[in-house]
Amino acid sequence: MVDFTNGPAPAGFLSPQRFEADIYDCEVEGAIPKDLNGAFVRVGGEWFYPPSRPDDSPFSTDGYISSFRIRDGIVDFRGRWVQTPRFRNNLEARKQLYGVYRNPFTHDDSVRDLERPYLATVANTSPLAFGGKLYALKEDAHPYEIDPNTLETLGPWDFDGQYKAQTFSAHPKIDPVSGDMICYGYEATGTCTDDLWIYTISPDGQVKSEVKVKVPYVSTLHDMVLTQKYFIFPVYGYVTSMERLREGHLHWAFDKNMPTYWGMVRRDGDGSDARWFKGPASVVMHTINAFDDGDKVIVDAPISDGNPFPFFPQVDGSPWDPVAARHTIRRLTFDMASSGDSYVEQILDPTDVVDLARVDDRFNSLPYRYVYSSMNDPEQPFDRDRAGNNRVVNSYFRYDLQTGEWRKFFAGDVHSLQEVSFIPRSANAPEGDGYLIGTASNYADMRTELVIVDAVEMEQLARVYLPFRHTAQVHGRWYNNQELPLADSPIPEYTGRRQT
Ligand SMILES: [Fe+2]
């Protein structure tokens, strides 16, 4: 029996639905550009069984992958659970066997494995297409390979044994110059270890380099950023320890007294020359982009001064600070010719933004101009009578780093947008010429909508309606039919008798 009545599972739009779905020929309003041929792939999670404790993090929800397959103006939708060992064990037991977020000591005796914590992954964070294959990622385990058409789980993948770290980030980077993937694992040799292992992998799946470094302290290395010369890693105030885990706590707590470190690791080195620059406390859960400028390295990121996640407690017991949780777009400048360990941090604009920013990926690691993300534009209406007291992220924006210009797209007065993805109009189109795509939660009609927007004019081109509210997304991304071997969706099968 599944009973959420006493559990902390979210109510309303985000309450668990627990079904898999196939929608053939979705309802479309407007005109989807005919040159779009690919899939918008989302990875997120929901509780199939309630969490074992009410204070667990939503980051422990069971992984779920979904795809809006788009071609020739039509859309087919599919959603499937990621079949991790944890998911299968829970199904077999018909209950939640696992404890709180990334704490192996809190799992049921039948599944506790302190030596192999990655067996408890939920693969619920991010999709990745690389080398023609699709994966669901979470930073505590290896990638889970997914069939890009059926969304069937094929299992964990370690690049034929070449990838040695126990963990793999949810935010690897694809170098647009070489085509290689830069990926990494932190806590690479086991729970709470200070090992960061960085890999460069070619599109045919061959590991070209392995670089091992030690971090200043064990922290949430959720995202990185790349230039043509450097791997760059932020280390910031989320802390952990084996002692903390033995006491039964969630993996992370926030220590506002811990400094931020930025690790600069040369891509052509062996890690021995890694430099760690030091600055004030902050949180850099996600980055935007970086590039080399002579002897300087420029890093852009949405940065907050404090803890953005209320479910990760403060180590000093102080209450969560929603003001310190706000993100602004900041530019950091590192002088690699200096011998010091400081850097310059500049707030480019005071606007409060969502930290899920994107660029035109063809400019990843290179000088670039446009930042895309989402925000709650306070000048736009929200109909609380129809939409309830929900989280509101009502607009996408394009921020022009050259001119400071903001352009916005408003999604509607009962909607909240999830992460945006940028699609170039063509392989050779200028930077920023293309489309934005992402899902919106329609709280009034309790359904999920896919939004497609002209990325220059910031006007809607099409909207796709799912006839239900869909699992919460963590990250979503567009992949075209060159990046994944996408087939046309077959007509739904019929095996019964036919009228003659
Ligand atoms: Fe992320």
Measured in Å, residue 128 CA sits from the centre of ligand 1 at: 12
Give the list of residues 6+ apart from residue 397 with CB closer than 8 angstroms, or none. 353, 372, 373, 374, 375, 406, 407, 408, 409, 458
* CA 125–ligand 1 middle distance (angstroms): 7
Burial class (CB in 10 A: 0-12, 13-18, 19+), 347: exposed
How much is the pLDDT for 391? 81
Q: How far apart are CA 14 and CA 47, in angstroms?
A: 10
215 C-alpha to center of ligand 1: Å?
20
Spacing, Cα 9 to ligand 1 middle (Å):
21
Bridge partner list, 196: 186, 213
- What was the pLDDT predicted at 264? 98
Ligand 1: centre distance to CA 429 (Å): 27
Tell me the CA–centroid distance for residue 130 and ligand 1, in Å. Answer: 18
User: Ligand 1 centroid to 492 CA: how many Å?
Assistant: 34
Contact in structure between 465 and 447 (CB atoms under 8 Å):
yes
Tell me the CA–centroid distance for residue 370 and ligand 1, in Å.
20
Strand ranges, E, within 304-401: 327-335, 344-353, 370-375, 395-400
Q: Provide the pairing of β-strand 447-454 with 434-442.
A: antiparallel
Cα 286 to Cα 282: distance, rounded to the nearest angstrom: 12
CA distance 173 to 412: 32
Question: How confident is the model at residue 4, as a pLDDT?
Answer: 58
Contacts of 272 (CB under 8 A, 6+ apart): none
Kindly give the distance from the C-alpha atom of residue 339 to the centroid of ligand 1, in angstroms, as a whole number: 32
- Cα of 109 vs centre of ligand 1, distance in Å, is 30
Instruction: Please tell me the distance between residue 187's alpha carbon and the centre of ligand 1 in angstroms.
Output: 17
How many Å lie between the centroid of ligand 1 and the Cα of residue 44?
11
Q: Count H helices and E strands in the chain, helices first.
A: 3, 32
| Total-model pTM | 0.96
Distance from Cα 224 to the centre of ligand 1, integer Å = 10
What's at 441, amino acid-wise?
Answer: S
474 alpha carbon – ligand 1 mean position (Å): 7
CATH for 12-480?
2.120.10.30
- Interval between CA 223 and ligand 1 midpoint (Å): 7
235 and 255 Cβ atoms separated by less than 8 Å: no
What is the whole-number distance in angstroms between the Cα of residue 462 and the centre of ligand 1? 27
319 alpha carbon to ligand 1 midpoint, in Å?
24
Looking at residue 426, what is its pLDDT? 94
For ligand 1, the distance from its centroid to the CA atom of residue 93, given in whole angstroms, is 30
User: Can you tell me the distance from the alpha carbon of 388 to that of 260, in angstroms, rounded to the nearest whole number?
Assistant: 38
Tens of each residue's pLDDT in the chain, 500 residues: 566 554 556 678 888 888 999 999 999 999 999 999 999 999 999 999 999 999 999 999 999 999 999 999 999 999 999 999 999 999 999 999 999 999 999 999 999 999 999 999 999 999 999 999 999 999 999 999 999 999 999 999 999 999 999 999 999 999 999 999 999 999 999 999 999 999 999 999 999 999 999 999 999 999 999 999 999 999 999 999 999 999 999 999 999 999 999 999 999 999 999 999 999 999 999 999 999 999 999 999 999 999 999 999 999 999 999 999 999 999 999 999 999 999 999 999 999 999 999 999 999 999 999 999 999 999 999 999 999 988 899 999 999 999 999 999 999 999 999 999 999 999 999 999 999 999 999 999 999 999 999 999 999 999 999 999 998 899 999 999 999 999 988 888 899 999 98
What 3-state DSSP class applies to 90? helix
Q: What is the pLDDT of residue 390?
A: 84
333: which strand partners?
Answer: 298, 344
How far is the centre of ligand 1, averaged over its atoms, from the C-alpha of 356 (Å)? 8
Q: In angstroms, what is the span from residue 417 Cα to ligand 1's centroid?
A: 16
Residue 25 alpha carbon to ligand 1 centre in Å: 30
Q: How far is the CA of 355 from the centre of ligand 1 (A)?
A: 9
